[in-house]
Amino acid sequence: MECVLLGSGGMMPMPERFLTSVVVRLQGQLYLFDAGEGCQINLKKTKLGVKSLRVVAVSHLHGDHCLGLPGILMMRAQVPEVGPLTILGPPGIERFIRQLHESLAFFLNYPLSFLEWSEGCPEKAYEDDLVRILWGPLKHTTLCLGYRLEEHPRPGKFKPEAAKALGIPYGPLWGKLQRGEAVTLDQGGTISPNLVLGPPRPGRNICYAVDTQPNKILYRLCQDVDLAFLDGMFLPEHHEEAETKAHMTADDAARVAARAGVRRVVLVHISPRYTEEDMEKFADAAKKRFANAEIGRDLQQFTIPYREDDPSRTLASPK
Ligand SMILES: [Zn+2]
Ligand SMILES: [Zn+2]
């Protein structure tokens, strides 16, 4: 699983810092979180393409999070034989796009479906063969959704000794069992995969939560994730402004991440008032609260290893 931070800024796109948006890539499929104005420019730079884009999850209807969506939709319509696209978001996201589509009459060559959050709706917003996406309302000046993307658990580790003991010949049957499929032996009898596999191994997960102050749902969505992208819009010295505008300071975000057991946190939605010289101050404020905190950079890439492939994580995970 890989993530690319397309932009790390808030409010308005700046020449050196685009608006916050994250694209997640898993087995060649893409999931996009937020699409502010100009989002497609950095998406183009990644060369990931938009054909395999399955979902766009929009946090809220503030322009810096959704004005880039029409551009993404139009860009995708340039691709022949492109598959369906699902848009997740707050109530009003469908009307916003439908009205725009009607006014501009732009070309769409793929089915577009919308799922809007509503009070009392299930925590699971979306599920496909690779992932599921959870959502919940954060604490902002308007309804703003946080997201958690979870990769499905993988079958457990294959135990060759158990397979040999059951008389399963080495070869393609081992592969099938490893993938979690039952097999039938030549001499008769069906072998269920749980006889030769260890316990299922957890998938990787990320949290995307911007434009918020800490609330219960924020903690829930980022609990124990491998990687979290969190709002860290202001320096601690501007905490009053952060409170008025319902955002977090760098140390607020790092504190949430540390308390929620996040393995690595990237602070995003940096206010346009800050310049490159302020970035060190941001990093210092965040790292004081949580060593695995960093300030997001446009087009920064993150590879998330499986926990059993990462010794530092295996040590940290509870036995
Ligand atoms: Zn914003
Ligand atoms: Zn906002």
| 3 state DSSP class of 38 | coil
Which band of pLDDT confidence, cut at 50, 70 and 90, is reported for residue 307?
confident
**What is the whole-number distance in angstroms between the Cα of residue 93 and the centre of ligand 1?**
16
Asked if residue 316 has pLDDT above 80, the reply is no
Q: Which ligand is nearest to the CA of 65?
A: 1
The token pair at 46 is: 């990644």
Q: Are strands 145-151 and 131-137 parallel, antiparallel or unpaired?
A: antiparallel
Q: How far apart are the first and last CA of the chain?
A: 24
Question: How confident is the model over 79-138, as pLDDT tens digits?
Answer: 999 999 999 999 999 999 999 999 999 999 999 999 999 999 999 999 999 999 999 999
| 3 state DSSP class of 25 | strand
**What is the whole-number distance in angstroms between the Cα of residue 275 and the centre of ligand 2?**
21
**What is the whole-number distance in angstroms between the Cα of residue 230 and the centre of ligand 1?**
12
Question: How confident is the model over 247-268, as pLDDT tens digits?
Answer: 999 999 999 999 999 999 999 9
Asked if residue 243 has pLDDT above 90, the reply is yes
**What is the whole-number distance in angstroms between the Cα of residue 12 and the centre of ligand 1?**
8
Query: Which residues in 107-134 are b (16+ Cβ under 10 Å) and which e?
Result: eeeeebebbbbeeeeeeebbeeebbbbb
Asked if residue 310 has pLDDT above 70, the reply is no
Q: pTM (2 decimals)?
A: 0.92
What is the structure's pLDDT at 318? 37
Q: Select which of 64, 226, 251, 298 is catalytic.
A: 64
Confirm if 36 and 272 have CB atoms less than 8 A apart: no
Q: Which ligand is nearest to the CA of 9?
A: 1
Asked if residue 23 has pLDDT above 80, the reply is yes
**What is the whole-number distance in angstroms between the Cα of residue 154 and the centre of ligand 2?**
36
Contacts (Cβ under 8 Å, ≥6 apart) of 300: 4, 5, 8, 266
What is the structure's pLDDT at 107? 95
Q: Which stretch of 85-89, 114-118, 197-201, 282-286 has the lowest confidence by average pLDDT?
A: 197-201
What is the structure's pLDDT at 189? 86
The token pair at 35 is: 């699409």
Q: Which stretch of 194-203, 223-232, 238-247, 259-268 has the lowest confidence by average pLDDT?
A: 194-203
DSSP letter at 249? B
Which band of pLDDT confidence, cut at 50, 70 and 90, is reported for residue 313?
low
**What is the whole-number distance in angstroms between the Cα of residue 83 and the centre of ligand 2?**
30
Q: Could you write out the DSSP letters of every residue in 52-77?
A: TEEEEE---SSHHHHTTHHHHHHHHT
Measure the CA–CA gap between 256 and 259, rounded to whole angstroms.
5
What is the structure's pLDDT at 155? 87
**What is the whole-number distance in angstroms between the Cα of residue 140 and the centre of ligand 1?**
10
**What is the whole-number distance in angstroms between the Cα of residue 141 and the centre of ligand 2?**
7
What is the structure's pLDDT at 24? 98
Confirm if 270 and 8 have CB atoms less than 8 A apart: yes
What is the structure's pLDDT at 315? 43
Mean pLDDT of 7-33: 97
Which band of pLDDT confidence, cut at 50, 70 and 90, is reported for residue 188?
confident
What is the structure's pLDDT at 203? 95
**What is the whole-number distance in angstroms between the Cα of residue 127 and the centre of ligand 1?**
26
Mean pLDDT of 258-282: 96
Asked if residue 164 has pLDDT above 70, the reply is yes
Measure the CA–CA gap between 229 and 57, rounded to whole angstroms.
14
What is the structure's pLDDT at 312? 56
Q: What is the mean pLDDT of the chain?
A: 94
Q: Which ligand is nearest to the CA of 140?
A: 2
Q: Inter-axis angle of helices 69-76 and 39-46, to 10 degrees?
A: 50
Percent residues over pLDDT 90 in the chain: 90
Bridge partner residues of 170 (DSSP): none
- CA 271, distance to chain mean position in Å, is 21
Asked if residue 76 has pLDDT above 60, the reply is yes
Question: H or E stretch including 109?
Answer: none
The token pair at 249 is: 């300071």
Active site residue 64: yes
Q: Which ligand is nearest to the CA of 138?
A: 2
Mean pLDDT of 45-60: 96
Asked if residue 167 has pLDDT above 70, the reply is yes
Q: Which ligand is nearest to the CA of 269?
A: 1
Which band of pLDDT confidence, cut at 50, 70 and 90, is reported for residue 64?
very high
Q: Which ligand is nearest to the CA of 271?
A: 1
The token pair at 49 is: 């393409």
Residue 184's φ and ψ, nearest 5 degrees, are -110, 130
CB count in 10 Å sphere of residue 205 = 23
The token pair at 27 is: 């087995």
Asked if residue 15 has pLDDT above 80, the reply is yes
**What is the whole-number distance in angstroms between the Cα of residue 10 and the centre of ligand 1?**
5
What is the structure's pLDDT at 319? 31
What is the structure's pLDDT at 314? 44
Asked if residue 143 has pLDDT above 90, the reply is yes
